[in-house]
Structure 1
Amino acid sequence: MISANDSNDPLHLLMGLEVSAVSFVRDYVELHFDGPVLRALSDPSGVYGGREWRFPAPGSMELMRCYIGLTVDGFELDPERILALDFGEHRFVVPLDCDNGWGPESAHMVGVGEDGRTSPLGGFWTW
């Protein structure tokens, strides 16, 4: 398991960044960070304001939009189980286990190129 103390992990790039957008694209969800993008291909879940949610259950999209403006202050990565971002008392979780039914990829992250724009040249990670 990797945590926010490991600066070699690509999720470390999100530390201190604010969620600028939550996008719903057909059957997956993206968190945008004014550059990097985290794409949840398997159905994410989480806790916001003490309320648990699981996408695409009713009410989950409204709660996910509440992440806009929050800053990443921690993460957890267990490559066999979950990828999670922490925002104080709130949490966003992408399941990575083989039983999620989404095939070999559960999440992608696209980094930022030298021009400051989202680009695979800035890194592309798959879980």
Structure 2
Amino acid sequence: MALVDLVLSEGWQFTYLFDGGAGTPPATVEDMLSLRDEGGVQLKVWPVPGVLAIFQLYDAERIEFDVDLRELQGQQQLDVLCRFLTTIGRRLRKPVLMTPEGLENQPVLGYDVEADRVVLMAGR
């Protein structure tokens, strides 16, 4: 469960929700994913106060999260988002893409593993 391990190791505040109620995350990602069929499973993470990422768990290879862009006004908040994407990408050794809702094939920006940084992807 690399995601939960990452959240804990970074000291980010989080709330695990199952079927709308807060609780302790299951011991394994498989247990967490099996609960998904019984009720909604979310992991709400605050990398810094005032910036919330809500993770939706679909399967071990596909984890999505939403951020409220209204919380990301100004360079300082954009830097928080870029550090967040970079931290996740480095730990998972995978690209982390940010797309408009409903347009998964049109990333706007994301963590590029080879470049080891967040890059602008719009217009590529």
TM-score w.r.t. length of structure 1: 0.29
Q: Which has the larger radius of gyration?
A: 2
- Structure with the higher fraction of residues in helix conformation: 2
- Larger RCO: Structure 1 or Structure 2 (Cα < 8 Å, ≥ 6 residues apart)? 1
